[in-house]
Amino acid sequence: MAPMSSLGAYLRELRERRGVSLEELARATRVNVHYLEALERDDLAALPAPVFVRGFVRAYCQYLGEPPDEALARCPAPAGAAPVAGRAPVAARRRSAATGASGTVLVSFVLLVILGAALFAVTLALQPARQAPVQAARQVGPAPPGLSSAGAPGPGAPGPGAPAGPAPAPSGPGASTPAPPPAPPPAPAPGVASGGAAPTAVARPAPPGGPPPAALPLAAVTRGVDAPYRLVARTTEATWIRVRTEDGRSTEETIPPGQVREWVSNGPFVLTVGNAGGVTLELNGRVLPPLGARGAVIPRLVLPPPQ
């Protein structure tokens, strides 16, 4: 009969066999006496969730010194289990729908971030491309004056020398290759043994190799330069440079080798140069002396310097 008895009857039989009252059992197990009465009446509707009921049964049996396994085996399935199981798919569908919505929002956010980063990168890439034509145009403009000033000693050299002898020799080869003309004049000079031709050949290389003016102090080179000032930077190596004009505007960039940059200001420029040996500066067409060694940093350079 024991296996056929209900959970309540089984628990009540255990308690009465030990001679323990419900009040004593409630104090010992800290379970409300109403729950204990509902257990013994098999009134599952008056009990809390099944997990708590199993805890009550376990505490009930442990206080009476009985193993709880048999009593737990008699615990019936809760009446609300079937409806809860029926509602489980609905809850699962709601959770999956919420998860899908949050996943869609997350994917949209990631796509927006990627799109924004791509637009930013394209904007940065287009800025140097837009500046390149302007810088190239500026480079073409100031280049002829530099070339004409460098080439000025050329015509002057044949003047004081013998115009008849050396003049035809450079004119013929000079049209095709500019490098060979300086080499032939020294060879004929000793052969002809002409006193006038040799000085002209020696005098011609002297003006191009004119480091003495470039070695002058910066203040001496820029003396007499009037505003507005036009500053040109020509790089032979990658050089970081920052330029601040008199109106307070500041620009900075790492200029690749072989590039030209130009700035105009009504007041002196304030420069910071990250590679003194990798850049050559011109102020109003005047080539400034070397700024320093390769890799040297110039934290503050005022052009033109205060007199």
pLDDT tens digits for 29-43? 898 988 888 888 888
At 99 the pLDDT is: 66
CATH number at residue 57: 1.10.260.40
For residue 62, the SS3 value is: helix
Residues 132 and 52 in one domain: no
Cβ–Cβ < 8 Å for 204, 220? no
3-state secondary structure of 47: coil
Residues 227 and 297 in one domain: yes
User: Are residues 224 and 260 both part of a single domain?
Assistant: yes
CA angle at residue 105 from 99 to 108, to 5 degrees? 140
Is 294 a domain residue?
Answer: yes
Give tens-digit pLDDT for 48-94.
Answer: 888 888 888 898 888 888 898 888 888 876 555 444 344 444 455 56
Q: Clarify whether residues 47 and 126 are in a common domain.
A: no
- The predicted structure's pLDDT at residue 220: 77
- pLDDT of 203 > 50? The answer is no
In a domain, 195, yes or no: no
Instruction: Round to whole Å and give the CA distance between 47 and 34.
Output: 9
Q: What is the mean pLDDT of residues 203-208?
A: 38
Closest Cα to residue 270, out of 304, 239, 230? 304
19 assigned to some structural domain: yes
pLDDT of residue 18 exceeding 90: no
> Which pLDDT value is given to residue 131?
56
Q: What is the mean pLDDT of residues 123-130?
A: 72
Residue 10 CA to residue 283 CA, distance in Å, equals: 108
Q: Which of 44, 73, 102 is the last residue of a domain?
A: 73
Establish if 161 belongs to a structural domain: no
Question: Does 146 reside within a domain?
Answer: no
Do both 294 and 262 map to the same domain?
A: yes
For residues 61 and 120, membership in a common domain is answered with no
Output the pLDDT for position 124: 85
Q: Which amino acid is at 77?
A: A
Per-residue pLDDT, 208? 41
> By the 8 A CB rule, do 214 and 289 touch?
yes
Distance CA 110, CA 117 (A): 11
Residue 145 within any structural domain of the chain: no
Q: What's the domain count of the chain?
A: 3
CA 149 – CA 165 distance, rounded (Å): 25
| Res 146 pLDDT > 70 | no
pLDDT at 98 over 70: no
Confidence (pLDDT) at 209: 40
> Would you state the pLDDT for residue 297?
94
Do 59 and 99 lie in one domain? The reply is no
Q: For the chain, give the mean pLDDT.
A: 72
Q: What is the pLDDT of residue 162?
A: 39
- The verdict on residue 15 lying in a domain is yes
Residues 99 and 46 in one domain: no
Supply the pLDDT for residue 192.
36
Same domain membership, residue 112 and residue 48:
no
Give the mean pLDDT of 93-101: 65
pLDDT of residue 280: 95
For the CA atoms of 169, 175, 179, 185, the dihedral, rounded to the nearest 10 degrees, stands at: 0
Judgement on whether residues 9 and 52 belong to the same structural domain of the protein: yes
Mean pLDDT of 176-184: 45
Give me the pLDDT at residue 199, please: 36
Evaluate if residue 239 carries a pLDDT over 70. yes
- Asked if pLDDT for residue 156 goes beyond 50, the answer is no
Query: Whole domain around residue 233: which residue ranges?
Result: 214-303
Q: Which pair of structure tokens corresponds to residue 70?
A: 């048999």
Does a structural domain hold residue 117? yes
Same domain for 54 and 117, yes or no, is no
- Confidence category of residue 296, pLDDT binned at 50, 70, 90: very high
Give me the pLDDT at residue 108, please: 87
Top-confidence range, 65-79, 178-192, 241-255: 241-255
Alpha helices, DSSP H, located in 4-142: 7-18, 22-29, 33-40, 50-64, 69-73, 81-140
What does the CA dihedral 217, 219, 223, 228 come to, rounded to 10 degrees? 130
pLDDT of 104 reads 83
Shared-domain flag, residues 231 and 295: yes
